[in-house]
Structure 1
Amino acid sequence: MKLGASMQPPAGLAGGRRFFLVGYLPTYAAAFFLLVLFWAGARGWRPPVDGTLRFSRAWATAAALGVGEILLLVLGVTLVAVLLAPLQTSVVRLLEGAWPEWLTRARWIRGRQLRKKQAWERRTELPAVVPVPPGPSGVWTQSVPVAPEVVQRAGVAADELRRRYPLRDHLIRPTALGNALAAAEDTAGRSFGYDAVVAWPRLYAVLGEPVRAVVDDRRDTMDAAARMAVTTLVTALIAAAALARTGWWLTLALLPLAVSWVAYRGAVRAAMAYGESLNVAFDLHRFALLEALRAPVPEEPDEERRTAAAWCDLWRQGVPLPPGFRYTTPQDQGTTGGQGQP
């Protein structure tokens, strides 16, 4: 049995592709990196046996592994991945900035993110209107025309601002990942009157297969990047301790640290893409949610916002639906074909 075969997760394990990306792969990468260091001679606070690391020794050890040893390695990595799976939400929350209250209220932590948001807001601003003195015709013009490329840059900045940060400053979080997810929660369904935090679990249940596949794929990508960022950060700390007495070999601990930084940046971009998919889900399937609730489909935007707000109040605080509310019959819902399309 080859060592590379241990990269394949056991067939039929619950979670499938998601488990492999989010749980198994980061754990396997960390375990493999640390095993190579230990096999090469890293011994923590004690110096290596012959004074230096020898990766030829690690290769020889890996090549000599028997079937039983490889199976034991696979079982150990899989067991660790399974045990850590329930902590995935906590991992994302940690990277979001869900830290102790006294720390999250520190001005310099949230203030740094707020200054970044304000910098993006300045990029969205177009040049001020400047009156132009009269020319030979004696007529004052209203302003100097704005170049198209300036308008385009402002539009791109506005789109990035909307995806990176929540609209309201009091929702700013201490990290870039937290702000990207807060932006999704703040904007998804907002135009139609929905509170995404309470409406999303219900909407997800009625999503069409194409939209659900996109949402799941982007969520898995974000979770995998977040898990990789945290796992490799812990790996870097363990590697630094293991290489403490190896001289310049200590710099090898920077490899997982660099991977952690890249993975975190990837998690931020994935969170922005995930937020975009949430907006698409509300755009295309909010009427399917109303049909599943046996609620009448509104005909006017103002009526839709009132209906959405009433349902969100019910889900969030248990506020009863307003008097006069009437449920629809299956025959009434047949006019939209049950697809939830606007």
Structure 2
Amino acid sequence: MDKFWESLGGKLAERWLSVAAPALMFWLGGLLMWMIGRGGPAALRQPLTDLAKLPVGSQLIGLVVVLLGVAASGWIVTQLVNPVLRFLQGYGPLWRPVRTRLVKRAQTKFDEIGSEFAALAPAVLLTPDSATPQQRAAYVRLTRRQRRLPGPGRFMPTAIGNTLRAAESHPIDKYGLDVVTVWPHLWLLLPDVVRTEVAAARARLNAGVAAGIWGVLFTGFAPWSVWAVPTGLITMIGCYLVWLPGRTEAYADLVQSAIDLYRRALYEQLRWPMPGNPAEERASGRLLSSYLSRGLSGSTPTFVASSSE
């Protein structure tokens, strides 16, 4: 689904403020590092004096050049967000040496959670009145952890990758719907408020990735001040360990919820017969995904009249 959001985000990137504001903070931070390396605010005195001697036209041209440079650096970072996010998910050749070990660790974690859940579920589901608060709390915790793992054969080497892969794969297990295939179609059918919430969650996720990129780039100011290195590394590590997990989970939850609640609109708009039970729905969803992806031949299924006809 990254290509979908990349095409959508390209329009949002045209807004100068959303692109330039983080870049402006980055360059102001770089100016601060330069000042620290040159002895403090007094280092600006001579450059400002030289600037004041220039004609007004030259000053305006210099200001425009600076603003364009700031905006250009912000635009470049926005273009890096999707490739970096894919890397953080675990895609790419750089993961090859450790991918097998990390995927195996995710498989082990999945199996352990499944065993704990299987042992705990009867006490919570079959005899809820006698379940202890600790058992109920453990049940909620295990359910939440299961929601963040995609299942056998689909594991990724990182937690972020598993969370996003789970958002894509759980609808296949529940409804037979391939999210990568049906999401662009479903997106056009979602109410405006839902699309706004999902797009905002994706924008927050992208902003977290961009903040980590800015953190890495900030270490480039090290020749002026050694403080640039810990500042940049703390920003990068904080984004990956603190900021991104929550934003990834929020976005994944909204994607799954949108499919849970509005998949019926997809069936109706395509005049696809509604399944009558979960087993039928999984089979029908797989067929519908194939229809949207490659098309079908033959006389099944028989289209039904939409509610507006």
TM-score higher than 0.5: yes
Match of residue 293 from structure 1: 270
Match of residue 325 from structure 1: 301
Any conservation in 1 of the 2:23–2:74 contact (CA below 8 Å)? Answer: yes
TM superposition shift of 1:180: 1.2
Match of residue 334 from structure 1: 308
Match of residue 239 from structure 2: 263
**Superposed CA RMSD:** 3.4
TM superposition shift of 1:320: 1.4
Secondary structure of 2:134's counterpart equals helix
Is 1:275 aligned to residue 275 of structure 2? no
Any conservation in 1 of the 2:33–2:228 contact (CA below 8 Å)? Answer: no
Map 1:120-131 → 2, pairs under 5 A: 121=114, 124=117, 126=119
Secondary structure of 1:226's counterpart equals helix
Secondary structure of 2:12's counterpart equals coil
Letter in 1 for 2:40: F
**Number of aligned residues:** 287
1:169-200 Cα deviation digits (max 9, x unpaired): x3221222111111111113631221112111
Any conservation in 2 of the 1:36–1:58 contact (CA below 8 Å)? Answer: no
Match of residue 55 from structure 1: 40
Return the match for 2:26 from 12, 23, 30.
30
- Alpha-carbon distance in structure 1 between the residues aligned to 2:23 and 2:151: 37
1:224-269 Cα deviation digits (max 9, x unpaired): 1011112212322x133x25xxxxx524411121111222231221
Map 1:93-172 → 2, pairs under 5 A: 93-100=86-93, 103=96, 106-117=99-110, 121=114, 124=117, 126=119, 147-168=131-152, 170-172=153-155
Match of residue 48 from structure 1: none
Is 1:305 aligned to residue 279 of structure 2? no
Any conservation in 2 of the 1:124–1:157 contact (CA below 8 Å)? Answer: no
Any conservation in 2 of the 1:104–1:174 contact (CA below 8 Å)? Answer: no
TM superposition shift of 1:124: 4.2
TM (normalized to structure 2)?
A: 0.78
Any conservation in 2 of the 1:96–1:173 contact (CA below 8 Å)? Answer: yes
Match of residue 132 from structure 1: none
Pair 1:321–1:84, CA change in 2 (3 A): farther
- Alpha-carbon distance in structure 1 between the residues aligned to 2:212 and 2:264: 38
Map 1:149-228 → 2, pairs under 5 A: 149-168=133-152, 170-188=153-171, 190-228=173-211
- Alpha-carbon distance in structure 2 between the residues aligned to 1:209 and 1:269: 24
Any conservation in 1 of the 2:211–2:239 contact (CA below 8 Å)? Answer: yes
Identity %, equivalent residues: 23
Any conservation in 2 of the 1:294–1:327 contact (CA below 8 Å)? Answer: yes
Unaligned 5+ segments in structure 1 are 1-12, 42-52, 130-142, 244-248, 336-342
Pair 1:105–1:96, CA change in 2 (3 A): same
- Alpha-carbon distance in structure 2 between the residues aligned to 1:85 and 1:116: 34
Match of residue 90 from structure 1: 83
- Alpha-carbon distance in structure 2 between the residues aligned to 1:274 and 1:18: 22
Pair 1:202–1:104, CA change in 2 (3 A): farther
Match of residue 49 from structure 1: none
TM superposition shift of 1:105: 5.4
Unaligned 5+ segments in structure 2 are 1-9, 53-58
1:211-234 Cα deviation digits (max 9, x unpaired): 111111111111110111122123
Return the match for 1:233 from 216, 219, 230.
216
Any conservation in 2 of the 1:40–1:57 contact (CA below 8 Å)? Answer: no
- Alpha-carbon distance in structure 2 between the residues aligned to 1:191 and 1:260: 36
TM superposition shift of 1:150: 2.1
Is 1:15 aligned to residue 12 of structure 2? yes
TM superposition shift of 1:77: 1.1
Pair 1:20–1:286, CA change in 2 (3 A): farther
